[in-house]
Amino acid sequence: MADAHYACMSAAHRPSRRAFLGGAALGAAGVFGAGGLSAASAAGRLTKAQKRVLVIFLAGGSSQLETWDPKPGTDTGGPFRAIPTSVPGVHVSELLPHTAKRMHRLALVRGVNTAEDEHGRGATIMLTGRRPEAGIEYPHIGAVAAKLLGGESQELPGHIHVLPGGGGGFSKQDAAFLGPRFAAVSLGNGQPPQNVLRPGGLTDDADARREALRKRLDDRFAASRKSAATEAYAESFDQAERVFRRAEVFAADQEPSALADRYGRHDFGRHLLLARRLLEAGVPFVRVTHSNFDTHHENFDFHLEQVGEFDRPFATLFDDLADRGMLDSTLVVVMSEFGRTPRINHLYGRDHWSKAWSVALGGCGIKGGAVVGKTNANGTAVTDREVNGGHLFHTYLRAVGLNPAKNFYPNDRPVPVADPKAAAIDEVLA
């Protein structure tokens, strides 16, 4: 979930430095285990055919009425106009003028009904494609992408979450039965996890001697008490060393100044530029969180600021991916945990609303300009092609060439990669 406290007083899950360090003994090797390129030279051989996924998570629940499905002139529409886009007949909120010009590269799913108005459960549905169930946790889309699009012997993490603010570290929950190898590395404020990079005062020779001692002690311990946990713990050190050798990937300040200006010098712009660097370096899945959209009061002022901050960097990202030949192999998804109520409350805010809202996606495997689903005149209900988180999850997998009908086999038990009760939204697939 997002690194934010919400106006409704619920707290998002925030991986901390302590969680990152404490989780190492349980498999922080998995933090750096899979999903990136196997070596720096492999990064140089990255082909345009390699599939990647970028999720932009508008934490707190962005308003569909102030973004993808405006209803101007109605009792729920609010003060903003709808503007035409590069797709004839398709309009979006006037808060998205730059994105509107790239609508031919995007598809809109306007009939989402996830039927869950609580932050944590809503995020779970959107990130796993399933409703929470007792007795089993399902892996997030990032872990699935890291496993199925990445590999087992790669250098950079395969599942990276760029968070606003400080913190960061390792989430043990989001990979579920896929294991910590595919769990997210969270980069607080876009910075690499603390205590991964070598201290400046430690020489190469001293570090080599220290590592040699550690390996001898690990081998001695493993000779009598080897387990999956000890293997994961030992591997974490080897993986961290390899990440250290690729530290330049995290240095978004190395980008040309003019490009950085186009993304924006604010946090979200920097984080989106970092995401592009990570994807280009071979990381198969990156999530960037932008918060806070939980606008129970002053919804319109908050969205004027937040969507305004989102719009130009997002449009720049699409141009940048296209310029680098990456757009056809990079799926980009903009989601929240739910939308906002059509009804405007007494604080000029919108509350949680999962019954009729929108998701945008584009790039790899997506039919640009498609609009699927429809809500009624004031946005209170889906009237055509209703879908849920399961349908979206199937769609993401199909877009990058994966088969959602296949199984994982935790403990030799078949578990479908995606909810078998749902299917992909074919109308948005190229």
Query: For 162-210, how does the pLDDT look when each residue is reduced to its tens digit (9 = 90+)?
Result: 999 876 665 667 999 998 888 888 889 988 766 666 777 888 898 888 8
Residues of the chain with pLDDT under 50: 1-3, 11-47
Q: Is 7 left (phi over 0), alpha (psi -120 to 50) or beta?
A: alpha
Kindly report the number of other CB atoms within 10 A of residue 403's CB atom.
10
Query: For 226-272, how does the pLDDT look when each residue is reduced to its tens digit (9 = 90+)?
Result: 765 665 565 556 556 656 777 888 889 899 999 999 999 999 999 99
Q: pLDDT value at position 342?
A: 98
**421: nearest Cα among 410, 405, 408:** 405
pTM: 0.86
Q: pLDDT value at position 6?
A: 63
Q: pLDDT value at position 223?
A: 83
**Domains with residue ranges and CATH for the chain:** 17-43+52-428 (3.40.720)
Peptide bond before residue 292 is cis, with ω within 30 degrees of 0: yes
Q: Which residues contact 164 (CB under 8 A, 6 or more apart)?
A: 2, 3, 4, 189, 267, 268, 271, 289, 290, 291
Query: For residues 11 and 5, is the Cβ–Cβ distance under 8 A?
Result: yes
Q: pLDDT value at position 225?
A: 80
* Cα 355 to Cα 112, 300, 381, distances in angstroms: 7, 21, 6
Q: pLDDT value at position 9?
A: 64
Q: pLDDT value at position 17?
A: 35
